[in-house]
C-alpha cells in the first residue's frame, strides 16, 4: 500500500469516537494511529483527544500490548545480548529527592552486572537524573550507542540520555500528554515506560513505582495497578521484570535539586548518607542482582568502596570530573520549623515544588535548569525540632525566586507531640501481573 493510501486506511475521528464512547480499538487501528501520529499525519489535536478518551476509558490488556508494541516499532531496538555481563536496568516512576539511580547504577555494576540507565530530564516537580549529573563539571549526557555498549562492557554502568531513536512515538506523545493533563493514566504511563525499556533491550528490569503525595500515582491501589500492568508488559516481552511499590509521601533523603542530590549520592557511595537512601538503594540493588542471577551482597560491596570506584570511572568516561567541587548557589535562605515537636509528615509535593521554583526544574521542555538550585533539609520524619530552628535551606542563583519557594513550604511539615518512626519505604513487591 502506498503511504498516501495508508494515511486513509482509518479515520482518526472515528477512532477517537470509538474510544470516547467506550469501544475497543483493533490492532490495525492502533498500529495505524501510532505510526501516523509519529509521522505527522494524525494531528496533535487528534492525538490529544485520543489521549483524553484513553484517560477516561482506558485500554484493555490486548489494546495496551498492541499500543506498546506499536510504540516500540516506531524506533530502533538495542541489543545487549553480546555484553560480557548480564544486563539489568532500574526505572523509577519519579519522585522528589529520588537520586537513587546515582548510587545504585555503580553499586550494581560493582557487583558484576551491566547497568544501562537511559535517563531523562526533569519536568514539573520531579527531578531528572541527567539534570542532576550535569551539575558535575564537564559531564556530558549524550553518548552514541557504540560508546554506551563499550562502557557497559568495561565499566559496567552507564547513565546517559536516551537517544531519539528509542520509541520516538513516546517522545512525541509524552510531550503532548504533559500539556494536556493526560499523564496520570495507568495504560499510557505503562506503555510509555515499557516501550522505552523493551526497545532498550535490557534482559531484566526492576521498577520503583512511587506512591503518595509526591508521585504521579497518589492512591496506593492505583500504584499497585500500575506496577502490575508494567510487570505484565515486561514479562510478556521476555524481560524479567519485578516492581517495588515505594513510599513517596515524604521526600527521599535530605535534598531535592541537582548538585545537592549529587553531593548526597556521593555521601552514600562513601559509606554514609541518609538512612532512607541507603535502604532503598540496597533494596533495589538486591532485586536487580536477583533478576540478573548474580549472587553478591550489595551492602558488603558498598562498604568496600568498589561502587565509588565505578562511580568515578563512570563520570570520567563522560568527561566529568568526579573530584571537582560541585556548584554552590549564589543565594541561600533558611526556612525555620513552624512548631515544636516530632516531624510526623513532610509533604514531598511541597518540597518538589519549592525546588522547582528555585530553578532546579523546568516549566517546559528545553528550559535551562540551575545546577546549584534546590532545597536541603536538616531533619525529616521522626526527628524532633523546636519552633524557630532552621529546617530547610533554599539554594538558588536568582534571589527573586526565594519568596515563592518559601511559600511552597508553608504548612509542608506536620508535627506530633509523641515520638514516632517513619513507616516502611518498600510497601509491596510485585512479580506477577
Ligand atoms: N515516565 C515516563 O517515561 N512516561 C510516563 O508516562 C510517566 C513517567
Judge if 240 and 96 occupy the same domain: yes
For residues 303 and 348, membership in a common domain is answered with: no
Q: Which of 65, 119, 192, 380 is catalytic?
A: 192
List Cβ neighbours of 398 (8 Å cut-off, separation of 6 or more).
331, 359, 370
- What's the confidence (pLDDT) of residue 183? 87
| Regions of the chain short of the pLDDT cut 50 | none
The residue from 296, 324, 352 where one domain ends is: 324
Question: Does some domain include residue 12?
Answer: yes
CB 205 within 8 A of CB 237: no
The CATH code of the domain that includes 13 is 1.20.970
Give the 3-state secondary structure of residue 427: strand
Residues 24 and 143 in one domain: no
> Which residue in 19, 90, 132, 177 is the catalytic one?
177
- Predicted confidence at residue 265, as pLDDT, reads 98
Q: Are residues 188 and 264 in the same domain?
A: yes
Q: Are both 112 and 240 inside the same structural domain?
A: yes
Is 71 part of a structural domain of the chain?
no
Indicate if 46 and 190 belong to the same structural domain: no
Q: Give the residues across from 76 on adjacent strands.
A: none
Cα(142) to centroid of ligand 1, in Å? 20
Rounded to whole angstroms, the Cα distance separating 129 from 159 reads 8
Looking at residue 337, which CATH number applies to its domain? Answer: 3.90.1170.30
384 is catalytic: no
Domain end call among 267, 299, 324: 324
Residue 177 CA: nearest ligand 1 atom is 6
Task: With beta carbons less than 8 A apart as the criterion, state whether 187 and 209 touch.
Answer: no
CATH code (residue 197): 3.40.1030.10
- DSSP for 84-144, please give it: SS-BEEEEE---TT--THHHHHHHHHHTT-BEEEEE---BTTB--HHHHHTTSTT------
What gap in Å lies between CA 132 and CA 135, rounded to an integer? 6
Establish whether 60 is a catalytic residue. no
pLDDT score at 364: 73
234 in the same domain as 192: yes
> How far apart, in whole angstroms, are the C-alpha atoms of residue 327 and residue 138?
12
Residue 427: inside a domain? no
Any domain includes 432: no
Q: What are the residues whose beta carbons fall under 8 Å from the beta carbon of 69, sequence distance 6 or more?
A: none
Shared-domain flag, residues 254 and 345: no
How many domains in the chain? 3
Please say whether the beta carbons of 119 and 130 come within 8 A: yes
Q: Determine if residue 388 is left, alpha or beta; phi over 0 gives left, psi from -120 to 50 gives alpha, anything else beta.
A: left
CA geometry: angle at 350 spanning 131 and 48, to 5°?
65
pLDDT at residue 363, rounded to an integer: 75
180 domain-assigned: yes
Contacts for 131 with CB less than 8 Å, ≥ 6 apart = 121, 122, 258, 360, 361, 369
pLDDT of residue 164: 79
Q: Are residues 364 and 312 in the same domain?
A: no
Cβ-in-10-Å burial (0-12, 13-18, 19+) of 326 comes to middle
pLDDT of amino acid 7: 65
Q: Which of 267, 296, 324 is the last residue of a domain?
A: 324
- Check: CB of residue 375 under 8 Å from CB of residue 405: yes
Residue 79 lies in a domain: no
Is 331 noted as a catalytic residue in this protein? Answer: no
> Do 320 and 337 share a domain, yes or no?
no
Q: How far is CA 242 from CA 87, 235, 278, 280, in A?
A: 14, 9, 20, 15
Quote the domain boundaries for residue 11: 3-58
Q: Give the phi and the psi of residue 410 in degrees, each rounded to 5.
A: -65, 125
C-alpha Rg value of the chain to the nearest Å: 22
Phi, psi of 329 (to 5 degrees): -65, 145
> What distance in angstroms lies between residue 191's CA and the mean position of ligand 1's atoms?
8
Pairing of strands 115-119, 157-161: parallel
C-alpha cell of 235? 514479562
Structural domain contains residue 424: no
273 secondary structure, DSSP code: S
Residues 181, 108 share a domain: yes
User: Within a domain: residue 44?
Assistant: yes
Catalytic residue among 170, 247, 276, 347: 170
Grid coordinates given for 175: 510531550
- Report pTM: 0.94
Together in a domain, 199 and 255: yes
Pocket of ligand 1 (CB under 6 A): 93-94, 174, 183, 188-189, 192-193
> Measuring from atom 6 of ligand 1, which residue has the nearest CA?
189
Amino acid at each position: 500500500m502506498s503511504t498516501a493510501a495508508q494515511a486513509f486506511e482509518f479515520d482518526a475521528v472515528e477512532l477517537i469516537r470509538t474510544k470516547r464512547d467506550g469501544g475497543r480499538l483493533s490492532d490495525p487501528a492502533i498500529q495505524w494511529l501510532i505510526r501516523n501520529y509519529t509521522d505527522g499525519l494524525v494531528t496533535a489535536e487528534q492525538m490529544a483527544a485520543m489521549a483524553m478518551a484513553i484517560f477516561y476509558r482506558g485500554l484493555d490488556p490486548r489494546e495496551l500490548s498492541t499500543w506498546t508494541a506499536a510504540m516500540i516499532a516506531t524506533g530502533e531496538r538495542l541489543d545487549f545480548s553480546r555484553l560480557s555481563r548480564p544486563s539489568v536496568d532500574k526505572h523509577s516512576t519519579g519522585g522528589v529527592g529520588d537520586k537513587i539511580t546515582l548510587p545504585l547504577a555503580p553499586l550494581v555494576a560493582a557487583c558484576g552486572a551491566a547497568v544501562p540507565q537511559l535517563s531523562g530530564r526533569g519536568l514539573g516537580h520531579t527531578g531528572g537524573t541527567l539534570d542532576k549529573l550535569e551539575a558535575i563539571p564537564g559531564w556530558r549526557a549524550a553518548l552514541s550507542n557504540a560508546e554506551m555498549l563499550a562502557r557497559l562492557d568495561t565499566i559496567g554502568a552507564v547513565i546517559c540520555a536516551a537517544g531519539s531513536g528509542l520509541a520516538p512515538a513516546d517522545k512525541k506523545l509524552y510531550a503532548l500528554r504533559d500539556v494536556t493533563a493526560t499523564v496520570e493514566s495507568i495504560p499510557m504511563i505503562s506503555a510509555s515506560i515499557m516501550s522505552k525499556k523493551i526497545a532498550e533491550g535490557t534482559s531484566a528490569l526492576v521498577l520503583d513505582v512511587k506512591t503518595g503525595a509526591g508521585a504521579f500515582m497518589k492512591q496506593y491501589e492505583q500504584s499497585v495497578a500500575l506496577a502490575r500492568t508494567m510487570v505484565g508488559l515486561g514479562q510478556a516481552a521476555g524481560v524479567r521484570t519485578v516492581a517495588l511499590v515505594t513510599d513517596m509521601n515524604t521526600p527521599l533523603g535530605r535534598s531535592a535539586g541537582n548538585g545537592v542530590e549529587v553531593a548526597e549520592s556521593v555521601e552514600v557511595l562513601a559509606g554514609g548518607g541518609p538512612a532512607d537512601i541507603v535502604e532503598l538503594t540496597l533494596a533495589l540493588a538486591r532485586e536487580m542482582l536477583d533478576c540478573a542471577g548474580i549472587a553478591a551482597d550489595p551492602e558488603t560491596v558498598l562498604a568496600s568502596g568498589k561502587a565509588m570506584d565505578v562511580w568515578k570511572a563512570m563520570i570520567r568516561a563522560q568527561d566529568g570530573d568526579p573530584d571537582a567541587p560541585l556548584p554552590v548557589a549564589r543565594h541561600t535562605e533558611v526556612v525555620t520549623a513552624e512548631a515544636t515537636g516530632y516531624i510526623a509528615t513532610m509533604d514531598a509535593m511541597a518540597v518538589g515544588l519549592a525546588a522547582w521554583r528555585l530553578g532546579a526544574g523546568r516549566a517546559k521542555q528545553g528550559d535551562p535548569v540551575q545546577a546549584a538550585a534546590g532545597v536541603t533539609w536538616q531533619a525529616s520524619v521522626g526527628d524532633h525540632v523546636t519552633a524557630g530552628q532552621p529546617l530547610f535551606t533554599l539554594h538558588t542563583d536568582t534571589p527573586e525566586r526565594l519568596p515563592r519557594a518559601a511559600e511552597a513550604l508553608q504548612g509542608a511539615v506536620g508535627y506530633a507531640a509523641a515520638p514516632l518512626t517513619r513507616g516502611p519505604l518498600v510497601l509491596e513487591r510485585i512479580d506477577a501481573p
